[in-house]
């Protein structure tokens, strides 16, 4: 590998500020996925199927706008020399919309409550995309060095896992401070989370480069943005393989995330046990993120990614035993899943900017970082959103009984088994399929370095 030049070397400040963005992206990806369906079914009295439709509809909107935002981001980069403008708008708007999502007025009925959540969450998803799409495009522009990108994304994932713990464990703990008024608990939780979301996103926006690195064509219609997105999918086989893998794994982890609160209440019989589950998941992930970087430096990112995925598969297969023998023993395979999850986040996100740089070198022309990141974000969002959708379908098909705050119900055995399957067998099947798609990713380190030197 050629010696790293000054422009390729990232300062500690750049790495730190970029990583802090994961406090926002990780928090928004985690907390709604963990509590939103549960909030709808067990506090607002919305049916499980309707709750799934609400979450899915908001995410479909997100998927539709991501490629457009990617194209707009590329144009802004060419016109102003930075992607920061959209990121700041998202950083300011997301906290407000997030609080509104959990600020449903009392006494308006389940239908009106469902519509309130749908509109507010769609607004939140829009603001999140305004930040997330250009944020994902930045690594390809911040450095041209193969291993520096791994370093940058490693520390991002360290902060991402901390954010998952902070929001995934801390959010329910804040909610639990108000046992007599769960709806107030959700609102206070949302306000506290919104502060961290806003600060994390705004700090990360300051790392955006202030000058254009590559030419970008001016002006483009919405249809052009979609055509550009379809083009990168059609013409770039490694991108299709990596995105397909990431989507399937996002679906698996999103399904487990959405099911975790139900596992805590109906399998471990302790609503607050979700905190212990998150600690078991995230503590190993924080420790393992730098380890996966070292493994990737030694054997290559794609091989390390395959190893992490296989470890996660083993964990979900072990969790399948909970269908017949539920208990606190599940903490051990959850910890293994957490160790693997660090690699499943660090490595594909570090491979993406390599792929973008390789595409530009081979194809030439306009800077398409925003197009790639827009399609990537749409795919990631689809995977995570469908996790909640699949859970809602499982709950509805197994007879899960929705309720309102303060009203106790007894779930049928089939519904409890469905929750266990959603946390184990279904994610295991998705992980196995993701290893098939990953086998089709054929870019190696020498391919990347050979086109960047």
Read off the CATH number of the domain in which 412 is found.
Answer: 1.20.1250.20
Residue 215 in any domain: the answer is no
* Inside any domain, residue 373: yes
pLDDT of residue 366: 57
The per-residue pLDDT for range 232-243, each reduced to its tens digit, is: 777 778 888 998
- C-alpha–C-alpha distance, residues 257 and 279, integer Å: 13
Per-residue DSSP letter, 178: -
With CA atoms as reference, report the closest residue to 49 among 120, 117, 114.
Answer: 114
* pLDDT, greater one: 449 or 433: 433
State the pLDDT confidence band at 3, using cuts at 50, 70 and 90. very low
Percentage of the chain surpassing pLDDT 70? 88
Going by pLDDT thresholds of 50, 70 and 90, the confidence category of residue 32 is: confident
The 8-class DSSP code of residue 292 comes to: H
d(CA 241, CA 222): 26
Q: 């020498």: which residue's tokens?
A: 446
H/E segment holding residue 159: helix 146-176
**Residue 214 counted as domain residue:** no
Percent of the chain with pLDDT over 90: 28
Give the pLDDT band of residue 180 (cuts 50, 70, 90): confident
Domains contained in the chain, number: 1
Report the distance separating Cα 353 and Cα 28, nearest Å. 23
Distance CA 79, CA 372 (A): 19
The pLDDT, as a whole number, for residue 6 is 39
5 belongs to a structural domain: no
Q: What is the pLDDT of residues 373-397, one digit of tens each?
A: 778 777 777 777 788 788 888 988 9
The position carrying tokens 């928004």 is: 28
- What is the chain's mean pLDDT, rounded? 83
What is the C-alpha separation between 37 and 35, in angstroms, rounded? 6
Tokens 């249809």 correspond to 223
Model confidence at 446: pLDDT above 80: no
In a domain, 219, yes or no: no
Label residue 435 by pLDDT band (50, 70, 90).
Answer: very high
In the 8-state DSSP scheme, what is residue 3?
A: P
Q: Tokens standing for 211? A: 């000058």
Cβ atoms 24, 201 nearer than 8 A: yes
Q: What is the pTM of this model?
A: 0.73
Q: Sign (positive/negative) of CA torsion 139, 142, 147, 150?
A: negative
pLDDT grade, residue 351 (50/70/90)?
Answer: confident
pLDDT of 365 above 60:
no
Domain assignment present for residue 10? The answer is: no
Q: Is 359 helix (H, G, I), strand (E, B) or coil?
A: helix
Residues in the chain: 453
Distance CA 144, CA 141 (A): 7
**Sequence-distant (≥ 6) Cβ neighbours of residue 312 within 8 angstroms:** 249, 252, 336, 337, 340, 341, 344, 431
Res. 120: pLDDT tops 90: yes
User: Which has the higher per-residue pLDDT, 251 or 80?
Assistant: 251
- Flag whether 158 is in a domain: yes
Mapping DSSP to helix (H, G, I), strand (E, B) and coil, where does residue 102 land?
A: coil
Q: pLDDT tens digit string along 276-301? A: 887 887 788 888 888 998 998 888 88
Higher per-residue pLDDT: 218 or 424: 424
Residues spanned by the domain of 24: 15-206+225-452
Helices (H), 1-47: 12-42
- The band of 245, judged by pLDDT with boundaries at 50, 70 and 90, is very high
């Amino acid at each position: 590998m050629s010696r790293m030049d000054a422009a390729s070397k990232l300062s500690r400040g750049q790495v730190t500020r970029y990583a802090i963005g994961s406090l926002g992206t990780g928090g928004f990806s985690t907390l709604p996925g963990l509590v939103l369906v549960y909030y709808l079914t067990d506090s607002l009295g919305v049916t499980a199927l309707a709750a799934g439709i609400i979450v899915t509809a908001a995410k479909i909107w997100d998927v539709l706008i991501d490629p457009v935002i990617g194209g707009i981001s590329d144009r802004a980069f060419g016109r102003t020399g930075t992607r920061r403008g959209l990121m700041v708008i998202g950083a300011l708007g997301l906290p407000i919309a997030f609080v509104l999502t959990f600020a449903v007025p009392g006494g308006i009925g389940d239908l009106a409550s469902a519509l309130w959540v749908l509109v507010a969450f769609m607004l939140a998803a829009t603001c999140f995309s305004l930040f997330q799409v250009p944020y994902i495009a930045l690594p390809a522009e911040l450095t041209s060095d193969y291993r520096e990108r791994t370093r940058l994304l490693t520390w991002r994932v360290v902060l991402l896992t901390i954010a998952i713990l902070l929001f995934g464990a801390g959010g329910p703990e804040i909610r639990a401070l108000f046992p007599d008024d769960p709806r107030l608990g959700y609102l206070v939780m949302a306000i506290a989370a919104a502060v961290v979301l806003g600060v994390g996103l705004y700090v990360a926006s300051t790392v955006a480069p202030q000058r254009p690195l590559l030419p970008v064509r001016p002006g483009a219609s919405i249809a052009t943005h979609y055509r550009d997105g379809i083009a990168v999918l059609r013409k770039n086989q490694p991108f299709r393989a990596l995105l397909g893998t990431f989507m399937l794994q996002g679906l698996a982890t999103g399904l487990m995330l959405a099911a975790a609160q139900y596992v805590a209440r109906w399998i471990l019989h302790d609503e607050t046990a979700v905190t212990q589950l998150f600690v078991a998941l995230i503590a190993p992930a924080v420790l393992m993120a730098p380890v996966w970087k070292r493994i990737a430096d030694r054997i290559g990112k794609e091989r390390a990614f395959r190893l992490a995925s296989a470890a996660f598969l083993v964990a979900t297969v072990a969790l399948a035993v909970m269908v017949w023998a539920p208990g606190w023993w599940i903490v051990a395979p959850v910890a293994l899943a957490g160790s693997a999850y660090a690699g499943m986040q660090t490595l594909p996100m570090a491979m993406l900017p390599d792929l973008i740089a390789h595409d530009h070198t081979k194809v030439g022309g306009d800077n398409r970082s925003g197009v790639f990141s827009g399609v990537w974000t749409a795919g990631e969002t689809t995977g995570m959103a469908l996790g909640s959708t699949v859970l809602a379908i499982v709950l509805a098909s197994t007879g899960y009984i929705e309720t309102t705050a303060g009203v106790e119900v007894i779930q049928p055995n089939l519904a409890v088994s469905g929750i266990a399957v959603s946390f184990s067998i279904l994610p295991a099947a998705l992980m196995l399929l993701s290893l098939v798609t990953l086998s089709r990713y054929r870019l190696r380190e020498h391919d990347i370095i050979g086109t960047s030197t």
